[in-house]
Amino acid sequence: MMTMTFLAVTIGAMLGATDAAPAFRPPAVPLVTHDPYFSVWSFDDKLTDNWSRHWTGKVNALCGLARIDGKPYRFAGPNPKDAPAMEQRALTVNATSTVYDFAAGGVALQVVFLSPLLPDDLDILSRPATYLTFTAVSADGADHTVQVYLDITGEWCVDKPEQEVQWGRLDFDGGTAMHMGSVEQPVLAKKGDDLRIDWGRVYLALPKQEGAFSRIAPADDSRATFAEKSNLRAKDVEGTRRANDEWPVLAALLDFGKAGKTPVTRQAILAYDDEYSIELMGAKLRPWWRRGGMDAAGMLAAAVKDYAALKERSAKFDAGLAQKLEAAGGAEYARMCALAYREAMAAQKIAADTDSEPVMFPKENFSNGCISTVDVFYPAAPVFLLLNTKLLAAQMKPVMDYVVSGRWPWPFAPHDLGTYPLANGQVYGGGEKTDENQMPVEESANMILLMGAMAKQDGNAGFAQQYWPAVVQWAEYLAEKGLDPENQLCTDDFAGHLAHNVNLSVKAILALGAFSQLCDATQRPDDAKKYRDTAKGMVDKWLQMADDGDHYRLAFDKPGTWSQKYNLVWDKLLGLNLFPADVARKEVAHYLKVQNKYGMPLDNRKAYTKLDWIVWSATLAEQKADFEALIAPAFKFLNESPSRVPMTDWYDTKTGKAIHFQARPVIGGLFIKALDAK
């Protein structure tokens, strides 16, 4: 077994040891997390309470059974009912793995879902393969016979269960696999938000190991055969059928033989080959892992070969990241971020562009389905700035290439590149045809701030330099329009248009400060002084216009109002020092006064909030105690929310109910406190 630290669970925990970290009940638990289409979660306290689901909430069923001394039990899924649920003794969510501990019949069974999303290795990060590792050990000192059964349904490879599926087998170097896909195979034929993939193939692969068998069969028949007889059907079912016609499944049986005091381990792999992932300006792009001609067989062979090394690398990454997170913001903050990590990564797709360069496409999950939205990868950026700026550059590159191509006609930055998975040009706010309902100050400032942050992390402004004329144009726009924005949308567009937005003004001012730093980094000292002086002058006016006594206003023309000034965090992170330190102090003191049970509202108008912005605003705090006081209600929200969905970022601070968004990339913004600590 690997060395487990911090949140990871050991065999000792399987036998009753407890974790010293604060209790945590995730609103949904990540199981298989790779991209917006291959993202499967448990929405329940216990893995046996219900079927696993795609992040959208549609069932993507995974069934797990165990026979111990001939008696069947369930560890995943609610059926078959005549197999009682194993006792779920522990659940631990790490950055790259989810660990369940079960017990029944004198045996402790540990089930680990490992998605090795290592940010410094694009080949591994983009590989759509999750390891399921099962470890059995005697809990009472006696030997027990143990077999484990696992299956997945055709729901994993269709948008709707009425679609027809077909199946087959594939042998590869190091193992064998079953696969299933839609009969239709409409590659990149649909776009939208509440959709699941219906092209390519899902794989259940078995590395070569003792006692491993597989079969493709109707679900009820397959599960009953195992539960009653400890084996699988005699042969694979033939033909094609609808996914919901007797629910054909890819099923595996793993025989442990005798499980005694020495742990016995077996393994399976769940993978997905979409063949083509994204359409970018009319060109169909391969997933990054496929760029050199690799196919499903090669991917699975590599996954089997790399397992031992990836297990160790993932454990080291999880432990190191957890240590940094706890040092930066405390134990509750560390647990929040561990849960957020896979969600942030699974809301992205890494592809190879036509020049074989890496490009990364975030999706606006359950907000509008847009692809490459600037005000989505802006709040998500802290996790990438902390762990690998190349991933942020890969998100920004398609947007910048679109801007300099000549297709984008406006003097400010675009909002998006289309609707996932088709990145063929902006669709939001009238697309390329009108400048109404756009986010001019928001998106222009977002891009400049991210370029400034990348330059600070990398020690050079090479990315911004490639697109300099566009960046200059946006800076000029902000210098003209940024201090007192017109009636524009900001990233919190669900709140509607707002003129004279004080927090949006902060963003514009700090973006000009960041542009000044970019000018310095590209040997333009005169321009650097010009734009810093402009930003300083804007701050002087802002202080007078926004002042509202013990805090600063929501809008310049609205006395008696307040809002989170989350954008102010860049003054600290970039070392701009444009705003007096007392601004942040006053704001933090006010935030501590206006919190509700589950956190601080976004502003005085409504009780709802954004989880990412809470952490950004809390990061303004000079004292760790103030940061933790602002984070504690948000942690309580995740623990108690009645909305059992993958980590929402938009929720009601009084009821704890999600308003709408879930499983979005923006949750990577929680890492901003760790970025500040770095």
pLDDT tens-place string over residues 300-335: 999 999 999 999 999 999 999 999 999 999 999 999
Radius of gyration in angstroms for the set of CA atoms belonging to the chain, rounded to a whole number:
26
Task: Give the tens place of pLDDT for each residue, 258-313.
Answer: 999 999 999 999 999 999 999 999 999 999 999 999 999 999 999 999 999 999 99
% of residues, the chain, pLDDT over 90? 92
Is residue 570 within 8 A of residue 456, CB to CB? The reply is no
Residue 678 clears pLDDT 90, i.e. is over it: no
Nearest CA-CA partner of 355 in 291, 299, 294: 291
Within 236-357, residue ranges assigned H as helices are 296-329, 331-346
pLDDT at residue 15 in the model: 52
Residue 377 clears pLDDT 60, i.e. is over it: yes
Question: In this structure, what token pair is assigned to residue 351?
Answer: 């592809």
- Alpha-carbon distance of 144 to 174, in angstroms, equals 29
Ordered strands of the 422-423 beta sheet: 283-285, 278-280, 422-423, 418-419, 370-371
Residue 493 clears pLDDT 80, i.e. is over it: no
Residue 639 clears pLDDT 90, i.e. is over it: yes
pLDDT at residue 210 in the model: 93
pLDDT at residue 436 in the model: 81
Task: Give the tens place of pLDDT for each residue, 407-461.
Answer: 999 999 999 999 999 999 999 988 898 888 899 999 999 999 999 999 999 999 9
What does the mean pLDDT of the chain come to? 95
Task: Give the tens place of pLDDT for each residue, 139-157.
Answer: 999 999 999 999 999 999 9
Q: Give the predicted TM-score (pTM) of the model.
A: 0.95
Rounded average pLDDT over 539-544: 98
Residue 8 clears pLDDT 50, i.e. is over it: no
Is residue 400 within 8 A of residue 389, CB to CB? The reply is no
**3-class secondary-structure state, position 387:** helix
- At 6, the pLDDT band (50, 70, 90 cuts) reads very low
Is residue 131 within 8 A of residue 169, CB to CB? The reply is no
Residue 12 clears pLDDT 60, i.e. is over it: no
- Alpha-carbon distance of 202 to 648, in angstroms, equals 27
